[in-house]
Structure formats: structure tokens, C-alpha cells
Homo-oligomer: A and B are copies of this chain.
Amino acid sequence: MKKLINDPSNVIADALRGIAAAHPELRVDHENRIIVRGDAPVRGKVGLVSGGGSGHEPLHGGFVGPGMLDAACAGEVFTSPVPDQMVAATQAVDGGAGVLHIVKNYTGDVMNFELAAEMVAADSGTEVVAVVVDDDVAVQDSLYTAGRRGVGATVLLEKIAGAAAEEGRPLGEVAEVARKVNAYSRSMGLALTSCTVPAAGKPTFDLPDDQMEVGIGIHGEPGRRRVPVAPAGEIAEMLVSPILSDLDYTGGDGVIAFVNGMGATPLIELYVMFNEVSQLLAKAGVPIARSLVGPYITSLDMAGCSVTLLKADDEILRLWDAPVNTPALRRGV
């Protein structure tokens, strides 16, 4: 295992210290392992809290800041944060207008966020609404999930719901926007290589040199099938077709097209993929309204990519274009 780390058991703590040193505009609570917007709680604004296992950076901590998340909880690598972290995050961002929990659909995350919401309600009476993200069309149930997994749509949802909250909209409306983004999003991913969890010290799975895994999850959990390595054009087809089969993307205002890197894939390859995706969408009569290309929800050092398509409408595009100021996504501020 070759990694830029110290002791594998300290990776999260060390990375959080790095985030604190690099981004003084954020507050890092090292004991609770939460990253909080520096000016939280913002009076009268709905607070947005997300979190999950580490190893998906910049998700979620890189998306904390004005216009996106108010706080993120960092679990161990590929392991849900515990409810106490979520409680601390929720209380830190409670500005009196309630708090939205953005939860990727993994059994541990869903359960822990539910527990945290109950604890907060019992303790301070803060109103908490949860939105569960489940956009991955690859598999119905998985190793860690009942129902579909939450993947790339999480990034888009955190941006768009964050903009709605920043506008001062009430909790019910922010949650409604978030649910719409999830309902209008579908994703599919592919791995060329496994990732290596620091504490394990060896690849999560074996993938021969001439094979790739289609429909991979963001933790190296199995996808749909293994197939021989193929050109980018065929890979794009394998990712885009199941998405377009699952939701009608025609009509409306086109899509936000998101080609995501899994952590060890160079940007030049993601642009090669974006070209192929854009051609498939043109053939399908689906215009690209906005785009996002880069490593935003990763799987440690996995090589590969995922495609997320979000069916856009006026509201989604307006909120997507709104100012945001976070370490990993910044615009208009």
C-alpha cells in the first residue's frame, strides 16, 4: 500500500487538521469530527447537515460553506459517522429555522441520522427533516443498502438545496427542492481498479488487468457485472443507457450532466468521457444545460468514473447558478 499518510488509524484526524489549516474560514471540531461553516449558526436560515464515511473527498467536508452545507460529519473510512457527531453538527448549525439532514442511502447512515434526529428533538426541540439520496441505477439492493445507493446526485443536491436555504426559504420548501433533485437524478459508475482502504492495507477486491466493474458503488462494493476493458465510447454507453432507460429526460430544460472521477482517474480522461456522454445525450435529444466534470465524490484511490444526469427545470438551474463558496465548489463569491 502506497499512500501519503502516517498511521492508517490517524488518517481522518490528520486530514481534518489539514482542512483546518487550509481553510480558516471553516470551523473544524476535531473531537466530534465535524466541519462547520465559520459563521454558523446563521440566524433564520435552515441549516444543512450531511456526512458519511470518509474516503469520498471532497464530499462532504469540501462542500461546507455559504450556499451549500452548514456542516459535515466525517466517519471513519467508508463507515457511517455516529449519531453523536450528527447531533453536534445539527446543534452547531441550528439557526432557529430547522435543520435538513442530507443522507446517502446506506443502512448505517440512514439509521444513525434517524437516531440523531430523535436525540436532537428530545433534547432541544429543533425541527429536523431528512432527505435520503438514492440515485444509483446500478443495483436495487446492495451490500450496504436496502434500495438504491446514494452517489453522485448528493453533490448536486447539496448545492441546489444549499442555494434554496441561502435564499431564506423555510425547511419544508428546502426539503421539497432536495427531494425533487433526488427524484430527477440518476447515476451509474464504473471501476477500472479497486481502491485500498488504509486500515486494510490491500485492495478491497481483485480486478484483473483486462476487466472492469460496471455499476460499482463508491465503497468498492460489487456492481452489475464484470466486462472486458472497453473504449471510452462503449463505457459511456454502458453508463448512460441505464440512466436514460430509468427516467425520461426528454422535454423540459435539459440536464445538468456530471462526469465524476473516482479518485485516481486523471482529468483528461474525464473530459474524454464527457465528450462521449455529450454525444450520446445529443443522439437521445437531451440538451446539456450545465455541466460538472471532476473528482467530487470519490472512492479513495479507485480509478474509474460515474455519470449523473439531473433533469433540470428553471428552479433547479437558478439554484445551481447561485453563488457558492466552499473549498471544492465556488462560484459568484
Residue ranges of A at the interface with B (Cβ–Cβ < 8 Å): 2-7, 11, 14-19, 21-23, 54-55, 57-58, 62, 192-193, 209, 212, 229, 231-233, 235, 257, 259, 263-276, 278, 288, 291, 293, 295, 298, 300-301, 303-305, 327, 330-333
The answer to whether A18 touches B62, judged by C-beta atoms less than 8 angstroms apart, is no
List 20 interface pairs A-B (beta carbons < 8 Å), by A numbering.
Answer: A2-B192, A5-B231, A5-B269, A6-B233, A6-B276, A14-B232, A18-B275, A18-B293, A21-B278, A21-B291, A22-B274, A22-B291, A23-B291, A57-B268, A62-B267, A263-B264, A263-B267, A264-B266, A266-B298, A267-B295
| Chain B min CB distance to A170 (Å) | 30
| Chain B min CB distance to A271 (Å) | 3
Contacts A209-B2, A263-B266, A266-B298; A271 near B57 (Cβ below 8 A): yes
Please name all residues of chain B whose beta carbon is closer than 8 Å to the beta carbon of A16 when the two chains form the complex. Answer: 271
The answer to whether B301 touches A266, judged by C-beta atoms less than 8 angstroms apart, is yes
The answer to whether B301 touches A303, judged by C-beta atoms less than 8 angstroms apart, is yes
From B15, B209, B231, B265, contact of A271 by CB (8 A):
B15
Q: How far is the CA of A18 from the CA of B271 in the complex (A)?
A: 5
Chain B, residue nearest A74 (CB): B268
The answer to whether A272 touches B11, judged by C-beta atoms less than 8 angstroms apart, is yes
Q: How far is the CA of A267 from the CA of B259 in the complex (A)?
A: 17
| Chain B min CB distance to A25 (Å) | 11
Please name all residues of chain B whose beta carbon is closer than 8 Å to the beta carbon of A304 when the two chains form the complex. Answer: 4
The answer to whether B303 touches A271, judged by C-beta atoms less than 8 angstroms apart, is no
Chain B, residue nearest A282 (CB): B21
Q: How far is the CA of A267 from the CA of B57 in the complex (A)?
A: 6
| Chain B min CB distance to A56 (Å) | 9
Please name all residues of chain B whose beta carbon is closer than 8 Å to the beta carbon of A298 when the two chains form the complex. Answer: 266-267
Q: How far is the CA of A272 from the CA of B331 in the complex (A)?
A: 26
The answer to whether B268 touches A54, judged by C-beta atoms less than 8 angstroms apart, is yes
| Count of this chain's copies in the oligomeric assembly | 2
From B11, B192, B264, B291, contact of A268 by CB (8 A):
B11
The answer to whether B209 touches A264, judged by C-beta atoms less than 8 angstroms apart, is no
The answer to whether A301 touches B264, judged by C-beta atoms less than 8 angstroms apart, is yes
The answer to whether A264 touches B15, judged by C-beta atoms less than 8 angstroms apart, is no
Chain B, residue nearest A14 (CB): B272
Please name all residues of chain B whose beta carbon is closer than 8 Å to the beta carbon of A330 when the two chains form the complex. Answer: 330-331
Please name all residues of chain B whose beta carbon is closer than 8 Å to the beta carbon of A291 when the two chains form the complex. Answer: 21-23
Please name all residues of chain B whose beta carbon is closer than 8 Å to the beta carbon of A5 when the two chains form the complex. Answer: 231-232, 269, 272
Point out which of A268, A271, A304 has the most chain B C-beta atoms below 10 A from its C-beta: A268
From B23, B57, B268, contact of A266 by CB (8 A):
B57
Please name all residues of chain B whose beta carbon is closer than 8 Å to the beta carbon of A333 when the two chains form the complex. Answer: 331-332
Point out which of A4, A55, A274 has the most chain B C-beta atoms below 10 A from its C-beta: A4
Please name all residues of chain B whose beta carbon is closer than 8 Å to the beta carbon of A263 when the two chains form the complex. Answer: 264, 266-267
From B4, B209, B233, B288, contact of A273 by CB (8 A):
B4
Please name all residues of chain B whose beta carbon is closer than 8 Å to the beta carbon of A62 when the two chains form the complex. Answer: 267
Contacts A265-B4, A330-B331; A22 near B303 (Cβ below 8 A): no
13 extra A-B contacts, CB within 8 A, seeds A4-B272, A264-B303, A331-B333: A5-B272, A11-B268, A16-B271, A18-B271, A18-B275, A19-B271, A22-B278, A23-B291, A55-B268, A264-B264, A264-B301, A266-B300, A267-B298
